[in-house]
Structure 1
Amino acid sequence: MERTYSDIPEGLYQFLLCFDNPIENLNARSYQKVLHTEKDHFDKLFLMLNQIYDQSSQNPKMLDVIAQKFVDKKYEEYLKLKKKKEREIRILNDQFALVSYVFPALLDVSESRMESAKRLADLIAKDWSNRFHMGVIKAVNEAEIQSGFKSFKSFFRRR
Protein backbone atom coordinates (compact mmCIF):
# COMPACT_ATOMS: atom_id res chain seq x y z
CA MET A 1 0.00 0.00 0.00
CA GLU A 2 1.37 3.37 -0.97
CA ARG A 3 1.54 6.09 1.65
CA THR A 4 -0.25 9.35 1.03
CA TYR A 5 0.61 12.82 2.20
CA SER A 6 -2.02 12.81 4.94
CA ASP A 7 -0.83 9.67 6.75
CA ILE A 8 2.91 10.39 6.71
CA PRO A 9 2.95 12.72 9.75
CA GLU A 10 0.74 10.30 11.69
CA GLY A 11 3.06 7.43 10.72
CA LEU A 12 6.10 9.27 12.03
CA TYR A 13 4.20 10.26 15.14
CA GLN A 14 3.26 6.61 15.82
CA PHE A 15 6.85 5.50 15.26
CA LEU A 16 8.25 8.05 17.67
CA LEU A 17 5.85 6.80 20.32
CA CYS A 18 7.61 3.41 20.17
CA PHE A 19 10.41 4.93 22.22
CA ASP A 20 8.40 5.59 25.36
CA ASN A 21 9.42 2.31 27.01
CA PRO A 22 11.78 3.09 29.88
CA ILE A 23 15.34 1.98 29.28
CA GLU A 24 16.43 0.87 32.72
CA ASN A 25 19.27 -1.31 33.92
CA LEU A 26 20.40 -2.50 30.51
CA ASN A 27 23.67 -4.35 30.47
CA ALA A 28 25.84 -4.28 27.36
CA ARG A 29 24.46 -7.51 25.88
CA SER A 30 20.79 -6.58 26.25
CA TYR A 31 21.56 -3.06 24.98
CA GLN A 32 22.97 -4.56 21.76
CA LYS A 33 19.85 -6.71 21.43
CA VAL A 34 17.63 -3.63 21.73
CA LEU A 35 19.64 -1.83 19.06
CA HIS A 36 19.41 -4.85 16.73
CA THR A 37 15.63 -5.22 17.05
CA GLU A 38 15.07 -1.52 16.38
CA LYS A 39 16.80 -1.69 12.97
CA ASP A 40 13.60 -2.62 11.10
CA HIS A 41 11.80 0.31 12.68
CA PHE A 42 14.62 2.65 11.66
CA ASP A 43 14.45 1.41 8.06
CA LYS A 44 10.74 2.22 7.94
CA LEU A 45 11.38 5.60 9.53
CA PHE A 46 13.99 6.52 6.92
CA LEU A 47 11.53 5.87 4.09
CA MET A 48 8.87 8.02 5.76
CA LEU A 49 11.34 10.73 6.67
CA ASN A 50 12.60 11.04 3.11
CA GLN A 51 9.04 11.62 1.92
CA ILE A 52 8.36 14.08 4.73
CA TYR A 53 11.54 16.04 4.07
CA ASP A 54 10.81 16.19 0.35
CA GLN A 55 7.28 17.49 0.97
CA SER A 56 8.20 19.93 3.73
CA SER A 57 9.41 22.47 1.17
CA GLN A 58 5.86 22.63 -0.24
CA ASN A 59 4.21 22.69 3.20
CA PRO A 60 6.49 24.51 5.69
CA LYS A 61 4.09 24.03 8.64
CA MET A 62 4.22 20.22 8.37
CA LEU A 63 7.39 19.89 10.47
CA ASP A 64 5.94 22.20 13.14
CA VAL A 65 2.84 20.03 13.39
CA ILE A 66 4.85 16.80 13.71
CA ALA A 67 7.07 18.21 16.44
CA GLN A 68 4.13 19.68 18.34
CA LYS A 69 2.10 16.45 18.16
CA PHE A 70 5.00 14.44 19.50
CA VAL A 71 5.71 16.75 22.44
CA ASP A 72 1.99 17.08 23.24
CA LYS A 73 1.61 13.30 23.40
CA LYS A 74 4.61 12.96 25.70
CA TYR A 75 3.28 15.74 27.93
CA GLU A 76 -0.11 14.01 28.22
CA GLU A 77 1.65 10.81 29.33
CA TYR A 78 3.71 12.82 31.79
CA LEU A 79 0.62 14.40 33.38
CA LYS A 80 -0.94 10.97 33.98
CA LEU A 81 1.84 10.11 36.43
CA LYS A 82 0.90 11.02 39.99
CA LYS A 83 4.20 10.94 41.87
CA LYS A 84 6.92 13.52 41.32
CA LYS A 85 9.64 10.84 41.33
CA GLU A 86 7.82 8.89 38.58
CA ARG A 87 7.58 12.05 36.51
CA GLU A 88 11.30 12.77 36.89
CA ILE A 89 12.22 9.21 35.91
CA ARG A 90 9.89 9.35 32.91
CA ILE A 91 11.38 12.61 31.67
CA LEU A 92 14.94 11.30 32.01
CA ASN A 93 14.05 8.06 30.19
CA ASP A 94 12.35 9.95 27.38
CA GLN A 95 15.25 12.39 27.10
CA PHE A 96 17.70 9.50 26.85
CA ALA A 97 15.60 7.84 24.14
CA LEU A 98 15.34 11.09 22.16
CA VAL A 99 19.07 11.81 22.30
CA SER A 100 20.17 8.19 21.78
CA TYR A 101 17.67 6.96 19.20
CA VAL A 102 15.31 9.52 17.73
CA PHE A 103 17.61 12.45 16.91
CA PRO A 104 20.32 10.29 15.27
CA ALA A 105 17.59 8.63 13.20
CA LEU A 106 16.11 11.97 12.18
CA LEU A 107 19.51 13.38 11.21
CA ASP A 108 20.80 10.36 9.26
CA VAL A 109 19.78 11.65 5.82
CA SER A 110 21.41 12.84 2.63
CA GLU A 111 22.78 16.37 2.30
CA SER A 112 19.84 17.49 0.15
CA ARG A 113 17.42 16.73 3.00
CA MET A 114 19.65 17.84 5.87
CA GLU A 115 18.05 21.28 6.25
CA SER A 116 14.59 19.79 6.84
CA ALA A 117 16.03 17.11 9.12
CA LYS A 118 17.84 19.62 11.31
CA ARG A 119 14.75 21.81 11.45
CA LEU A 120 12.55 18.92 12.62
CA ALA A 121 15.06 17.79 15.26
CA ASP A 122 15.54 21.36 16.47
CA LEU A 123 11.77 21.92 16.66
CA ILE A 124 11.32 18.79 18.78
CA ALA A 125 14.20 19.79 21.06
CA LYS A 126 12.88 23.36 21.40
CA ASP A 127 9.29 22.28 22.07
CA TRP A 128 10.51 19.66 24.54
CA SER A 129 12.63 22.17 26.44
CA ASN A 130 9.76 24.68 26.58
CA ARG A 131 7.19 22.13 27.72
CA PHE A 132 9.28 20.13 30.18
CA HIS A 133 10.92 22.78 32.32
CA MET A 134 12.87 20.14 34.20
CA GLY A 135 14.70 18.88 31.12
CA VAL A 136 16.68 20.48 28.33
CA ILE A 137 17.85 18.48 25.31
CA LYS A 138 19.92 19.12 22.21
CA ALA A 139 19.41 17.61 18.78
CA VAL A 140 22.48 15.49 18.02
CA ASN A 141 23.66 13.14 15.31
CA GLU A 142 25.50 9.83 15.61
CA ALA A 143 28.96 11.39 15.23
CA GLU A 144 28.39 13.69 18.19
CA ILE A 145 27.23 10.78 20.33
CA GLN A 146 30.29 8.69 19.40
CA SER A 147 32.58 11.52 20.49
CA GLY A 148 32.51 10.33 24.11
CA PHE A 149 30.59 10.14 27.37
CA LYS A 150 31.55 13.55 28.68
CA SER A 151 30.06 15.28 25.66
CA PHE A 152 27.11 12.84 25.51
CA LYS A 153 26.18 13.82 29.04
CA SER A 154 25.84 17.44 27.93
CA PHE A 155 23.15 16.64 25.34
CA PHE A 156 20.49 16.38 28.03
CA ARG A 157 20.42 17.86 31.48
CA ARG A 158 18.15 18.94 34.28
CA ARG A 159 17.43 22.59 34.94
Structure 2
Amino acid sequence: MFPDFETSSATQVAHIIQLAVAPIFLLAGIGAFLNVCAGRLARIIDRARNIEPLLLGARGEEHDRWLGEIRVLDRRMALVSQAIFFSVLAAVLTCLVVFLLFTGALTNAQLGTPVALLFMGSMVAIGVGFTIFLFETRLGSRTVRIRTDILEHQAEE
Protein backbone atom coordinates (compact mmCIF):
# COMPACT_ATOMS: atom_id res chain seq x y z
CA MET A 1 0.00 0.00 0.00
CA PHE A 2 2.71 2.49 0.96
CA PRO A 3 5.44 3.16 -1.60
CA ASP A 4 9.04 2.54 -0.79
CA PHE A 5 10.25 5.97 0.34
CA GLU A 6 13.80 5.19 -0.69
CA THR A 7 12.73 4.68 -4.30
CA SER A 8 10.66 7.90 -4.40
CA SER A 9 12.38 10.11 -6.87
CA ALA A 10 13.79 13.47 -5.92
CA THR A 11 11.53 14.94 -8.58
CA GLN A 12 8.45 13.52 -6.87
CA VAL A 13 9.51 14.93 -3.50
CA ALA A 14 10.32 18.29 -5.10
CA HIS A 15 6.86 18.36 -6.65
CA ILE A 16 5.25 17.66 -3.25
CA ILE A 17 7.27 20.48 -1.71
CA GLN A 18 6.14 22.82 -4.51
CA LEU A 19 2.52 21.97 -3.73
CA ALA A 20 3.09 22.66 -0.05
CA VAL A 21 4.84 26.03 -0.48
CA ALA A 22 1.68 28.15 -0.86
CA PRO A 23 0.04 26.80 2.32
CA ILE A 24 3.33 27.24 4.17
CA PHE A 25 3.46 30.91 3.13
CA LEU A 26 -0.12 31.18 4.37
CA LEU A 27 1.07 29.82 7.73
CA ALA A 28 3.72 32.55 7.87
CA GLY A 29 1.05 35.19 7.26
CA ILE A 30 -1.23 33.71 9.91
CA GLY A 31 1.72 33.70 12.31
CA ALA A 32 2.33 37.40 11.67
CA PHE A 33 -1.35 38.14 12.27
CA LEU A 34 -1.27 36.14 15.50
CA ASN A 35 1.71 38.22 16.60
CA VAL A 36 -0.31 41.41 16.02
CA CYS A 37 -3.28 39.99 17.93
CA ALA A 38 -1.12 38.86 20.85
CA GLY A 39 0.49 42.31 21.07
CA ARG A 40 -2.90 43.99 20.99
CA LEU A 41 -4.23 41.65 23.67
CA ALA A 42 -1.21 42.37 25.88
CA ARG A 43 -1.77 46.13 25.58
CA ILE A 44 -5.46 45.77 26.42
CA ILE A 45 -4.62 43.65 29.47
CA ASP A 46 -1.99 46.18 30.60
CA ARG A 47 -4.54 48.99 30.29
CA ALA A 48 -7.11 47.02 32.30
CA ARG A 49 -4.57 46.34 35.04
CA ASN A 50 -3.75 50.05 35.22
CA ILE A 51 -7.42 50.99 35.49
CA GLU A 52 -8.36 48.45 38.19
CA PRO A 53 -6.80 50.39 41.11
CA LEU A 54 -8.19 53.66 39.74
CA LEU A 55 -11.65 52.10 39.58
CA LEU A 56 -11.44 50.78 43.14
CA GLY A 57 -10.34 54.18 44.48
CA ALA A 58 -12.86 56.27 42.56
CA ARG A 59 -16.33 57.44 43.51
CA GLY A 60 -19.27 58.96 41.65
CA GLU A 61 -18.87 60.00 38.02
CA GLU A 62 -15.19 59.09 37.97
CA HIS A 63 -16.02 55.56 39.16
CA ASP A 64 -18.68 55.24 36.46
CA ARG A 65 -16.23 56.43 33.79
CA TRP A 66 -13.57 53.90 34.85
CA LEU A 67 -16.18 51.15 35.08
CA GLY A 68 -17.35 51.92 31.55
CA GLU A 69 -13.80 51.82 30.25
CA ILE A 70 -13.01 48.52 31.94
CA ARG A 71 -16.18 46.99 30.50
CA VAL A 72 -15.11 48.04 27.01
CA LEU A 73 -11.63 46.60 27.64
CA ASP A 74 -13.21 43.33 28.77
CA ARG A 75 -15.22 43.18 25.53
CA ARG A 76 -12.13 43.97 23.49
CA MET A 77 -10.17 41.19 25.24
CA ALA A 78 -12.94 38.74 24.37
CA LEU A 79 -12.94 39.86 20.72
CA VAL A 80 -9.16 39.58 20.34
CA SER A 81 -9.26 36.15 22.00
CA GLN A 82 -11.88 35.04 19.48
CA ALA A 83 -9.78 36.39 16.60
CA ILE A 84 -6.81 34.43 17.95
CA PHE A 85 -8.93 31.27 18.21
CA PHE A 86 -10.08 31.46 14.59
CA SER A 87 -6.58 32.30 13.37
CA VAL A 88 -5.10 29.31 15.18
CA LEU A 89 -7.89 27.15 13.78
CA ALA A 90 -6.96 28.38 10.29
CA ALA A 91 -3.30 27.52 10.97
CA VAL A 92 -4.19 24.00 12.16
CA LEU A 93 -6.37 23.41 9.10
CA THR A 94 -3.55 24.67 6.87
CA CYS A 95 -1.13 22.26 8.56
CA LEU A 96 -3.57 19.45 7.81
CA VAL A 97 -3.63 20.57 4.16
CA VAL A 98 0.16 20.28 3.96
CA PHE A 99 0.06 16.90 5.71
CA LEU A 100 -2.57 15.57 3.31
CA LEU A 101 -0.67 16.89 0.30
CA PHE A 102 2.35 14.85 1.33
CA THR A 103 0.28 11.84 2.35
CA GLY A 104 -1.65 11.83 -0.93
CA ALA A 105 1.47 12.19 -3.04
CA LEU A 106 3.42 9.51 -1.21
CA THR A 107 0.58 6.98 -1.01
CA ASN A 108 -1.08 7.80 -4.33
CA ALA A 109 -4.32 8.30 -2.38
CA GLN A 110 -7.00 10.53 -3.89
CA LEU A 111 -7.20 13.27 -1.26
CA GLY A 112 -8.10 16.21 -3.48
CA THR A 113 -11.55 16.74 -1.96
CA PRO A 114 -10.39 16.67 1.70
CA VAL A 115 -7.49 19.00 0.83
CA ALA A 116 -9.85 21.44 -0.90
CA LEU A 117 -12.37 21.32 1.96
CA LEU A 118 -9.68 21.85 4.60
CA PHE A 119 -8.23 24.75 2.64
CA MET A 120 -11.68 26.30 2.28
CA GLY A 121 -12.22 25.83 6.01
CA SER A 122 -8.91 27.52 6.67
CA MET A 123 -9.91 30.49 4.52
CA VAL A 124 -13.26 30.79 6.30
CA ALA A 125 -11.57 30.61 9.71
CA ILE A 126 -8.97 33.27 8.91
CA GLY A 127 -11.68 35.42 7.33
CA VAL A 128 -13.74 35.19 10.52
CA GLY A 129 -10.63 35.99 12.57
CA PHE A 130 -9.93 39.08 10.42
CA THR A 131 -13.55 40.20 10.67
CA ILE A 132 -13.57 39.90 14.46
CA PHE A 133 -10.28 41.79 14.59
CA LEU A 134 -11.85 44.53 12.47
CA PHE A 135 -14.71 44.83 14.97
CA GLU A 136 -12.24 45.01 17.85
CA THR A 137 -10.16 47.73 16.23
CA ARG A 138 -13.31 49.74 15.45
CA LEU A 139 -14.48 49.34 19.06
CA GLY A 140 -11.06 50.41 20.32
CA SER A 141 -10.91 53.48 18.13
CA ARG A 142 -14.48 54.53 19.00
CA THR A 143 -13.88 54.32 22.74
CA VAL A 144 -10.55 56.11 22.88
CA ARG A 145 -11.63 59.69 23.26
CA ILE A 146 -10.10 62.62 25.09
CA ARG A 147 -12.46 63.85 27.75
CA THR A 148 -14.03 67.25 27.13
CA ASP A 149 -12.96 68.62 30.53
CA ILE A 150 -9.33 67.93 29.66
CA LEU A 151 -9.65 69.60 26.26
CA GLU A 152 -11.36 72.63 27.80
CA HIS A 153 -8.69 72.87 30.50
CA GLN A 154 -5.93 72.96 27.88
CA ALA A 155 -7.81 75.59 25.91
CA GLU A 156 -7.93 77.90 28.94
CA GLU A 157 -4.14 77.93 29.36
If the TM-score is normalised by the length of the shorter chain, which range does it land in?
under 0.3
Q: Structure 1 length as normaliser, TM-score?
A: 0.27
Rg (Cα) greater in structure: 2
Larger RCO of the pair (alpha carbons < 8 Å, separation 6+): 2
Q: Structure 2 length as normaliser, TM-score?
A: 0.27
